[in-house]
Structure formats: structure tokens, C-alpha cells
Homo-oligomer: A and B are copies of this chain.
């Protein structure tokens, strides 16, 4: 029995993607490394903080300038916002600048962990959905909050694996899988990923996609890591679709020897 994976597409807010890897554009050592990492990652969605765009200084060099933006879907985020109001304002600014009607809502609740504020995130999402945005809220891994966001119209939910930039991997696989089980919108794991194994695990738990930034930009060789991550997303996705063996406490021989010669 084989699974059909020919048309394994990810659809968010009416847009269709072949790649399940979203890439953040921040923190690369230089724009050349950034553009090559983007290239080999196969990412179709790029994220960035609206506030880094220097929207009021259009003639200054821009961190996105090396990228052929026609090829990518831009997913601006509201990083820097510490409440719903600020997030809404940043989102409107992005839209007014002609960037995109997709927005990643990011409302930080603590400067040390950068963990998101659940209540303000829900508020901002409600407002922006009503204004017609395609909203992807970044959240902690609270399964009930994920459901509430879906109910107010989020186009996807983006639970963190661990705090932003920590590289700790998936701190709570249970919560992530509870979110996946209940979700009717795509689940994109965002933040805290450290390595390809983390990515594969997230996909095997049923995540629909992964957003990475530090894990790529902070690797010793970001371009090679971008390629590793692309492969890991595919490996994890196919592993999920292929249906892994159950875990067992005791062994079973893969080279069974019953009825063999020479015994």
C-alpha cells in the first residue's frame, strides 16, 4: 500500500505552496549568504519584521534587495509589538506599503524569553481578520489557544517549538500533537528549532510546515544548513505520510531465524 504524494500541497489563505519550509530573513551575516540560503532552502515564503523595512527611507539599502520578490510570498511579522494595538498598527502599516495582506502576528510578552502573549495575540488576530488580513498568529504551544485562534479566523496557527532563537527543539511534543489533532487550519511550527532532527520530528508529529530563522542563519555554514533543512522537511513529511512503525518495549528480530539451516 503506497501513499499518493504527488500533489502534497500546503494551502494557506487560498495560496498554494509546494514547499513546507518558511524562512526568516533576519540575522544573516551578509546578503549574499542570505540569498544563497534562501535559494537552496526551496522556501516559497519569506518572513521579516515590518519594522526592519525602513519604510520611510525608501532609498536606503534593504535587506530584501537581493531577492527576486516576484518568486516569493512575503510574510511580514509584527515583531516589536508588545500589545494587540501595536501589532494591529504594524500590520496596517505593512498593508499600506503594498507589502502583503498576509501577516504573522507576533506580540511578545517577555523580553527574556520573547514568548508570545496569548491574550493580546488573540485580540490582534480578531481585529485583523475582520479587516481582511490573512492572519498567521505566532503562539506558544497552548492547544486551546490554537483552537480559539482558528475559531476567530486565523488562516494558520504557528506554535513555537521553544523560545525564539534558543535552538532547544520541540520542548513539548504532546502539546504540538494535540494542536495538530484538533486543527482544521495548517499548523506551522515556528521558533526554537535547532537542527534537522527537530524539523523532521515536527513534521512527523503532523505539522504542516516549519518556519526557521536562527537555526539556519546562525549555523556555521548557513547555506549548507538551509539545504539540510529542506531535506529534513521532506524527510519528516514523507515519514509522516508513510506511517512509522509503532514503538515497542521489547525486540523483534529483523532477521528472523526460525526454520533455518544449520541450527
Contact = CB atoms under 8 A, between A and B. Distances in A.
A167 B248 contact: yes
Contacts of A242: 219-222, 224-225, 228
A140 to B, nearest CB: 5
A183 interface: no
Nearest to A111: B251
B260 A51 contact: yes
Contacts of A227: 238
A232 B56 CA distance: 44
A256 B27 contact: yes
A187 B237 CA distance: 27
A15 interface: no
| Number of copies of this kind of chain in the complex | 4
Interface string A230-263: 0110111111011111111111111111001111
A261 B217 CA distance: 24
Contacts of A142: 115, 118, 140, 142, 145
29 contacts: A2-B223, A3-B221, A24-B254, A27-B254, A49-B255, A49-B257, A51-B262, A51-B263, A53-B261, A79-B255, A89-B262, A115-B178, A119-B119, A162-B174, A163-B174, A163-B251, A165-B253, A167-B247, A171-B174, A195-B200, A195-B244, A196-B232, A197-B204, A199-B200, A214-B245, A222-B242, A228-B239, A229-B239, A231-B234
Across the A-B interface, the 9 shortest Cβ-Cβ residue pairs: A220-B243, A109-B144, A213-B254, A49-B255, A228-B238, A165-B252, A231-B235, A114-B251, A79-B255
Given A47-B255, A93-B262, 14 more contacts: A26-B256, A51-B261, A80-B255, A80-B263, A109-B147, A115-B142, A142-B145, A194-B244, A197-B197, A197-B198, A197-B200, A214-B252, A224-B241, A232-B236
